[in-house]
Amino acid sequence: MPQLDKLKPLNGLAAQNGNSNGVQLATNVFAQRHYISRERRTHKLGKNQNFKGCTVWFTGLSGAGKTSIAFELESILVSRGLTAYGLDGDNVRSGLNKNLGFSKEDREENIRRVAEVAKLFADSGTITLCSFVSPFAEDRLMARRIHERAGLPFFEIHVDTPLNICEQRDVKGLYKKARAGSIKAFTGIDQEYEKPENPDLSVKTDCSIDESVGQVLKLLENNGIIPKQETLGHHVLELFVPENRLIAAYKEIELLPALEITHLDLQWLQVLSEGWAAPLTGFMRKRQYLQALHFNELAEGINQSITIVLPVSTSDKERLEKSSAFVLYHEQKPYAIMREPEFFAHRKDERVCRQWGTNHPNHPYIKMVLESGDWLVGGDLEVLRRITWNDGLDKYRLTPNELKKRFRELKADAVFAFQLRNPIHNGHALLMQDTHRRLLERGFKNPVLLLHPLGGWTKDDDVPLRVRIQQHQALLEDNVLPKSTVLAIFPSPMSYAGPTEVQWHAKARMVAGSNYYIVGRDPAGIPHPDIEKCPGQDLYDPTDGGIVLTMAPGLEDLEILPFKVAAYNKERQKMDYFDPAKKEAFEFISGTKMRTLARNGQKPPDGFMAPKAWQVLSDYYQSLQNGKAD
């Protein structure tokens, strides 16, 4: 097949219906309408119901930073569940446009082709990010009009980096060649760059990449292309009985049958009552249970990856199934009224296999499921009182609405959450400080860290909540963490369900006002319960949780921040981001080694953990050794 740039006129018709080069143009061409609308396409294939397709056109000198900004923006948009794709000048010229040079005519054709491709991408619902020098104003105007004729949004972004800065960068060595005369017609040297007179946004060179990306994100939010981050003013539905009805409710419970619930059930009751699992209004009914179990959703766009259910015995089911309401008691104290209860079979193998991917009885939470009642009961709850534990930690147990109020008081313009169930070392602190810095660079004035340790049931060998809170508080007192940090307890029990559970952790923080979420390595993971067949193996791939969060339904308004691996840098004597090229300089201090040092009263290497925080851990592990831990 002949190359495009070598095609010759075919006959006299070519001269009549040809371009200036005599190449025959297509005639008798009719645009074909798609069978589905743009809106329907994105509704069915995307995660956001509103149409989001557009083109963002980055223009500027070579080396200005167009591609760096576009590719970082692409990464952020995809992490929010939005379809985005970057079209880079070099990539396009190495394929679609490899037959074009850099004459004015070829530059125009280059931009025309790219604009047409970008239009098709945008029409499919993709946020298309084009990084092209595109030095001529008339070519950029042509690209805009191609989109306007198709009814598609087009945004021109001028990456306004001065020539001398671009020459200093000269990553590709092109300016040096142009100055030497080996590259002709190079924009900025011997070919003019026509600066945009009225771009939709101008990004200055004194901005970092994160700050530049933040400006573009704000532009897209303001134009309705992407959803705005949830505001802290949104009130979360709680399930508490209003104060003016409490007396009537307590009188009613004297006439209702009772159901005793477990300590674990009470923790889930707290989760429901405070609104963490909104919009659930009680323990799951069958349809809600099946939708969460099979689709990780309560409704389209509302993530609920774990089932929140109340198991009951056969005898309790037979005793209560004809009641229109009954009271939930724990240790003879009434906590809630369940209305219009619905009983259904507790198919335990189906539940555990779908939620955990295994039904091995050595898994600690699965063991509790298998030993629980053969029936589930769901229904709306009216909770009589705020659930407290009187363990000295209730002041840290802030509800989603209380957290939002706290963030407003701090004048937070971004909230980033870090969930953990283990003690914090300086590698974690490095990640939190680095995230705070990056958000400032994006243009936020006061990003607040939600340090949110899990406070419900955990397996026996995990560090107790009381010790973890003491250790976290010691870090705050030593100024190891960002100053604008809110330490609070997340009341959920730990299911150890890997990538399935990590969605729940993220969704709950989003309910509380977080719009950024740091996902750790092996979130909600656990060693494989079959020790004989799978010795030393994890049940879940440690990286899958982070990947799943970028695809999970209903989390589009939460930007997922990947966990960077940190290790002890022996040369710098501090925790540092691991560099594979210098792996001999790094030491990974395992949990086993850390516990051994703590039990023996030894100190870790300087810079691994703040001294006061280490002392809390050391005291705890030595108390275990001496049999004094409570």
Strands 154-160 and 516-518: unpaired
Q: What is the C-alpha separation between 344 and 379, in angstroms, rounded?
A: 12
pLDDT over 70, % of the chain? 90
Q: How confident is the model at residue 43 (pLDDT cuts 50, 70, 90)?
A: low
Q: Is the pLDDT of residue 35 over 70?
A: no
**Range picked from 211-220, 313-322, 438-447, 551-560 for highest mean pLDDT:** 313-322
> Does the pLDDT at position 3 exceed 60?
no
In the predicted structure, residue 171 carries a pLDDT above the cut 90: no
Are β-strands 586-587 and 566-569 bridged in parallel, bridged antiparallel, or unpaired? antiparallel
Asked whether residue 201 carries a pLDDT value surpassing 80, the answer given is: yes
C-alpha–C-alpha distance, residues 546 and 537, integer Å: 19
Question: Which of 25-29, 364-368, 409-413 has the highest average model confidence (pLDDT)?
Answer: 364-368
| 591-619 pLDDT per residue, tens | 778 888 888 889 999 989 999 999 999 99
pLDDT digits (tens, 9 = 90+) for 484-503: 999 999 999 999 999 999 99
Mean pLDDT of the chain: 87
Query: Which has more pLDDT, 26 or 446?
Result: 446
Instruction: Please state which of the ranges 17-21, 227-231, 312-316, 506-510 shows the lowest mean pLDDT.
Output: 17-21
Name the residue with higher pLDDT: 8 or 76. 76
As a whole number, mean pLDDT of residues 330-346 equals 97
Residue from 100, 187, 93 nearest 135 by CA: 187
**Which residues are CB-contacts of 146 (< 8 A; sequence separation ≥ 6)?**
112, 115, 116, 119
Per-residue pLDDT at 48 exceeds 60: no
Using the CB atoms, write b or e for 146-159: b if 16+ within 10 Å.
bbeeeebbbbbbbb
d(CA 148, CA 206): 32
Q: CA–CA separation, 339 vs 263, rounded Å?
A: 21
Task: Select the more confidently predicted residue: 82 or 251.
Answer: 251
Is pLDDT of 440 > 70? Answer: yes
> How many whole angstroms separate alpha carbon 439 and alpha carbon 233?
21
* Cα radius of gyration rounded to whole Å, the chain: 30
Confidence at residue 592, expressed as pLDDT on a 0 to 100 scale: 76
Strands 201-204 and 154-160, how do they pair?
parallel
pLDDT at res. 529: 94
Beta-strand ranges (E) seen in 124-223 are 127-131, 154-160, 201-204
Asked if residue 10 has pLDDT above 50, the reply is no
Which residues make Cβ contacts (< 8 Å) with residue 627, sequence separation at least 6?
Answer: none
pLDDT at 47: 44
For residue 145, what pLDDT is reported?
A: 96
User: Residues 573-585: pLDDT tens digits?
Assistant: 998 888 989 989 9
- pLDDT reported for residue 388: 97
Among 270-279, 356-365, 618-627, the minimum mean pLDDT is found in 618-627
CA distances from 424 to 331, 408, 419, 429, 612 (A): 35, 26, 11, 7, 12
Mean pLDDT of 517-541: 88
Phi then psi for residue 22, to 5 deg, are 80, 10
Q: What is the per-residue pLDDT for 1?
A: 35
Q: Which two tokens stand for residue 338?
A: 């369940």
d(CA 188, CA 203): 18
| pLDDT digits 0-9 by tens, 236-290 | 889 999 999 999 999 999 999 999 999 999 999 999 999 999 999 999 999 999 9
Task: List strand residue ranges (DSSP E) for 111-234, in order.
Answer: 127-131, 154-160, 201-204
Three-state DSSP class for 14?
helix
Q: Are 122 and 147 in contact (CB under 8 A)?
A: yes
Which two three-digit tokens encode residue 44?
């069915």
Mean pLDDT of 414-442: 89
What's the pLDDT at 611?
92
The whole-model pTM stands at 0.69
Averaged pLDDT for residues 165-176: 82
More confident: 489 or 212: 489
Q: Which range is least confidently modeled, 7-21, 211-225, 303-317?
A: 7-21
Q: Given pLDDT bands bounded at 50, 70 and 90, which one contains residue 233?
A: low
Q: Is the pLDDT of residue 540 over 90?
A: yes
Spatial separation of the C-alpha atoms in residues 618 and 596, rounded to whole Å: 10
Write out pLDDT tens, residues 222-232: 888 887 655 55
Query: In 143-189, at which residue ranges do the beta strands (DSSP E only) sit?
Result: 154-160
